[in-house]
């Protein structure tokens, strides 16, 4: 059970009835938020239906967009997600695609802040939302709408990011093997520089990453040192 005393430091928006303007991947619309739906991290409009088809790669996704005029909302792995209807799906089917209904609440992610917790274990138990940042005054979570709703049901009070964007931490990692850096550190680090450790084979990688990526790196046995933020950064 999550620690309720620390969860409720943010004022809850409670149950909101009315129109709430939300933005999903840059598309604005207005929806009625029912009393049982918490609205603190937005909902997904149900006026359009989300589908997915399988594509081989980015070029095929680009060809679907160019030739069939079907705009991708998201291309993730081999899945091409789009808002469609029967006409669009018939067109895609004629080219050999098999449209499948997708749940937008399991596809699109949101970033929210919660009050700082004593530890992150309860969060992990409640869902796969990732913990981007543990800041002093708040924690920054990233998850699908469904994941975040689960957390909200468990009592976590969430606040939208608003204009306070998450800033990755500056990090430094020493790698014993001076090759295949991408594989060693994964894809979630923006590598800013690599230099050889004096008098040895090892290399020092400096970069930027969020706390969940840093946790992964540490789980791989890498020693990650957090460097001071760039000048002027406000957390």
Partner 1 sequence: MKVLYRILFLVALGVASGRVSEIRASIDFSNFHTPTQMDNELTNLATTHASIAQIFTIGNSVEGRPIRGLKISNNVAIDDATKGDVVFIALQHAREWIAAEMALYLAEYLVTHYSTDPNLQACMNNLQIWIIPVANPDGYVYTASDPSRRFWRKNRRNNGDGTFGVDINRNFSYQWGLASGSSGVTADETYRGPSAFSEPEAYHFRDFIQARHNPRFLVSYHSAAEVILRSWRYVDAPAPGETTLGFVQQDMINRIAAVHGQVYGTSIGYNSSGSTLDYFWGEMRMIALTPELRGPSFDPPPAQIIPNNEENLPAAISLIKDAGCRTLWIKDYSADTGAEPSAVWLGDHWSHAFWTSPDIWTDTDPPVAGSTTVLHVRVHNDGPVTMHASIVRAYYTDPRVSLEFPNPDSVLIGEQTTDLVLGDSTLNFSWHVPSGTNIWGEHHWCVGAVVSHPDDKPLTTQIQRTSNIGGHNFQTVDAEAATKLFVGVTNFLSLPAEVVVRVDPKSLPPGWRVELPPLAERRKLSRKALLLHVQNNVLEPGENLAQPVRIIIPPNVPRGFVADIDISGVLLPLVPGERVPVGNGYTFRVTTRK
3-state helix, strand, coil in the chain (%, to 5): 25, 30, 45
- Of 112 and 222, the one with the shorter C-beta distance to partner 1 is 112
Is-contact 190 41, C-beta < 8 A?
no
Q: For partner 1, which residue of 75, 129, 157, 214 counts as binding (CB under 8 A)? A: 75
- Token duo for residue 96: 């050999």
Find the part of the chain contacting partner 1 (CB under 8 A) among 1-9, 31-39, 53-61, 214-222. 53-61
Minimum gap (Å) between residue 48 Cβ and partner 1: 14
Q: Is 105 in the site for partner 1 (CB under 8 A)?
A: no
How wide is the angle at C-alpha 131 spanned by C-alphas 127 and 133, nearest 5°?
165
Q: For partner 1, which residue of 13, 65, 117, 172 counts as binding (CB under 8 A)? A: 65
- Token duo for residue 182: 């991408």
Minimum gap (Å) between residue 76 Cβ and partner 1: 6
Minimum gap (Å) between residue 5 Cβ and partner 1: 26
Q: Is 127 in the site for partner 1 (CB under 8 A)?
A: no
- Print the binding letters for residues 12-41 with partner 1: x by CB under 8 A, - otherwise: -----------xxxxx--------------
Q: Is 88 in the site for partner 1 (CB under 8 A)?
A: no
Do β-strands 49-54 and 100-101 pair in parallel, antiparallel, or remain unpaired? antiparallel
Is-contact 120 96, C-beta < 8 A?
no
Is-contact 169 214, C-beta < 8 A?
yes
- Of 17 and 63, the one with the shorter C-beta distance to partner 1 is 63
Q: For partner 1, which residue of 38, 99, 104, 168 counts as binding (CB under 8 A)? A: 168
Q: Is 204 in the site for partner 1 (CB under 8 A)?
A: no
Distance from C-alpha of 169 to C-alpha of 228, rounded to nearest angstrom:
8
Q: Is 111 in the site for partner 1 (CB under 8 A)?
A: yes
Do β-strands 169-175 and 203-209 pair in parallel, antiparallel, or remain unpaired? antiparallel
Helix (H, G, I), strand (E, B) or coil at 222: coil
Is-contact 12 157, C-beta < 8 A?
yes
Distance from C-alpha of 67 to C-alpha of 70, rounded to nearest angstrom:
8
Q: For partner 1, which residue of 1, 21, 219, 234 counts as binding (CB under 8 A)? A: 234
Q: Which residues bind partner 1 (CB under 8 A)?
A: 23-27, 55-68, 72-77, 80, 95-97, 108-112, 132, 142, 160-162, 165-166, 168, 178, 180-182, 186-188, 190-194, 203, 205, 208-210, 213, 230-234
């Amino acid at each position: 059970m999550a620690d309720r005393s620390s969860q409720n430091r943010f004022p809850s928006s409670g149950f909101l009835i009315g129109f709430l303007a939300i933005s999903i991947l840059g598309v604005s619309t207005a929806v009625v938020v029912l009393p049982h739906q918490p609205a603190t991290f937005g909902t997904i409009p149900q006026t359009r239906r989300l589908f997915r088809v399988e594509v081989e790669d980015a070029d095929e996704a680009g060809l679907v967009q160019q030739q069939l005029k079907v705009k991708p909302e998201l291309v993730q792995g081999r899945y091409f997600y789009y808002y469609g209807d029967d006409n669009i799906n018939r067109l895609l089917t004629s080219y050999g695609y098999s449209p499948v209904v997708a749940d937008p609440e399991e596809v699109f992610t949101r970033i929210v802040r919660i009050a700082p917790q004593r530890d992150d274990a309860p969060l992990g138990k409640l869902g796969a939302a990732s913990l981007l940042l543990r800041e002093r005054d708040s924690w920054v979570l990233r998850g699908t709408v469904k994941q975040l709703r689960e957390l909200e049901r468990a009592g976590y009070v969430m606040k939208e990011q608003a204009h306070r964007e998450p800033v990755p931490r500056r990090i430094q990692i020493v790698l014993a093997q001076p090759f295949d850096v991408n594989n060693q550190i994964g894809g979630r680090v923006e590598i800013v520089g690599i230099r050889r450790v004096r008098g040895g084979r090892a290399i020092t990688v400096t970069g930027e990453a969020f706390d969940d990526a840093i946790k992964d790196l540490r789980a791989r046995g890498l020693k990650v040192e957090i460097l001071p933020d760039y000048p002027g950064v406000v957390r």
